[in-house]
Chains A and B, each alone.
Chain A
Amino acid sequence: MSEVMSNGVMSEVMSAEALMPSKKLSARGWMRANLFNRWYNAVLTLILALVIAYLGFRSIRYLFWTAEWEPVRANLTLFMIGSFPRDEQWRVVVQLLLLAAAFGVIWGSMIGASRDRAAQSGSPFSAEPGWVALRRWWGLVLLLGVLLLAAWGILPLVLAFGCIALIFMLRRIAMRLASKVRIYAWFGGYVLLIASWQIVSGTGGSAWFWAAGLLAFWGIRTVRKKDLTPRLPLTLVAIVGGGAVAWAIYTFILNGLINFSGVGWDNWSGFHLNLIAATISIIAAFPLGLILALGRRSSLPAIRWLCVTYIELIRGVPLIGLLFIGNSLLGFFIDNDPFIDFFLDTPLSQISRAIVIMSLFTAAYLAEVIRGGLEATPRGQTEAGQSVGLSPWQITSRIVMPQTLRASIPAIVGQFISLLKDSSLLSIIAVSEILRVRASVHSQGAFTTLGTAETLVFIAFAFWAFAFTWSRESQRLEKHLGVGER
Chain B
Amino acid sequence: MRSNRVKLFAVLACVLGLVAVACSSDSGNDTDDNQQDTASLLDEVRDRDQLICGTRDDLTGFAQKNSEGEFEGFDVEFCKVIAAGILGDATKVEFKALGPERFTSVQAGEVDILFRNATATASRDGREGLAFPFTTVYDGQRMMVSGDSDITSLDDMDGASICVVQGTTTELNLNAVLGARGISFNPVLYSSHTELREAYQAGLCEGYTADGSALFVYKFTSEQAGGPQQRILDEVMSKEPLGAVIADGDSKWEQAVTWVMRATIQAWEFGLDSTNINSYSGNDVNILNFLGRNDFDPGLGLDRDFAINVVDQVGNYKEIYDRTLGATGLIMEGSYNRLWSDGGLHYAPPYR
Task: For B33, give the chain A residue with the smallest CB separation.
Answer: A336
Which residue of B30, B69, B99 contacts A429 across the interface (Cβ within 8 Å)?
Answer: B99
Shortest C-beta distance, A477 to chain B (Å), equals: 33
Chain B hits for A445, CB < 8 A = 60-61, 221, 224, 327-328
Q: Are A428 and B221 interface neighbours, CB within 8 A?
A: no
**Cα distance, A59 to B109, chains bound together (Å):** 49
Q: Are B30 and A439 interface neighbours, CB within 8 A?
A: no
Which residue of B66, B67, B96, B192 contacts A266 across the interface (Cβ within 8 Å)?
Answer: B96
Q: Are A236 and B10 interface neighbours, CB within 8 A?
A: yes
Q: Are B57 and A432 interface neighbours, CB within 8 A?
A: yes
Chain A hits for B30, CB < 8 A = 338
Chain B hits for A448, CB < 8 A = 60, 197, 218, 221-222, 225
Task: For B30, give the chain A residue with the smallest CB separation.
Answer: A338
Chain B hits for A269, CB < 8 A = 69
Chain B hits for A331, CB < 8 A = 104-105, 108, 110
**Cα distance, A452 to B6, chains bound together (Å):** 63
Q: Are B26 and A342 interface neighbours, CB within 8 A?
A: yes
Q: Are B57 and A443 interface neighbours, CB within 8 A?
A: yes
Task: For A340, give the chain B residue with the smallest CB separation.
Answer: B22
**Cα distance, A75 to B59, chains bound together (Å):** 17
Q: Are B192 and A439 interface neighbours, CB within 8 A?
A: yes
Task: For A338, give the chain B residue with the smallest CB separation.
Answer: B26
Q: Are A449 and B225 interface neighbours, CB within 8 A?
A: yes
Shortest C-beta distance, A213 to chain B (Å), equals: 10
Q: Which secondary structure dominates chain A's binding surface?
A: helix
**A306 at the B interface (CB under 8 A):** no
Q: Are B99 and A449 interface neighbours, CB within 8 A?
A: no
A428-480 at interface with B (beta carbon < 8 Å): 428-430, 432, 436-450, 452
Task: For B25, give the chain A residue with the smallest CB separation.
Answer: A342
Interface residues on A, range: 35 or more
Shortest C-beta distance, A431 to chain B (Å), equals: 8
**A69 at the B interface (CB under 8 A):** no
Interface residues on B, range: 35 or more
Chain A hits for B227, CB < 8 A = 449
Shortest C-beta distance, A303 to chain B (Å), equals: 14
Chain B hits for A81, CB < 8 A = 69
Shortest C-beta distance, A18 to chain B (Å), equals: 56
**A341 at the B interface (CB under 8 A):** yes
**B300 at the A interface (CB under 8 A):** no
**A74 at the B interface (CB under 8 A):** yes
Given contacts A78-B65, A244-B21, A342-B25, contact A444 B60 (CB under 8 A): yes
Q: Are B225 and A86 interface neighbours, CB within 8 A?
A: no
**B309 at the A interface (CB under 8 A):** no
* Known contacts A439-B57, A440-B58, A444-B67; 17 further A-B pairs (Cβ under 8 A): A83-B69, A86-B69, A269-B69, A324-B101, A328-B104, A332-B108, A339-B22, A339-B26, A342-B25, A350-B96, A436-B97, A443-B58, A443-B59, A446-B221, A447-B225, A448-B60, A449-B227
Q: List 18 A-B contacts (CB under 8 A).
A: A74-B67, A78-B65, A78-B68, A83-B70, A236-B11, A342-B26, A428-B99, A430-B99, A439-B57, A439-B58, A439-B192, A441-B67, A443-B58, A443-B59, A445-B328, A449-B221, A449-B225, A452-B201
B: residues with CB less than 8 A from A are: 6-7, 9-11, 13-14, 17-18, 21-22, 25-26, 30, 56-61, 64-71, 94, 96-99, 101, 104-105, 108, 110, 191-194, 197-198, 201, 218, 221-222, 224-225, 227, 327-328
Nearest 7 CB-CB pairings of A with B: A233-B10, A83-B69, A430-B99, A443-B64, A440-B65, A338-B26, A439-B58
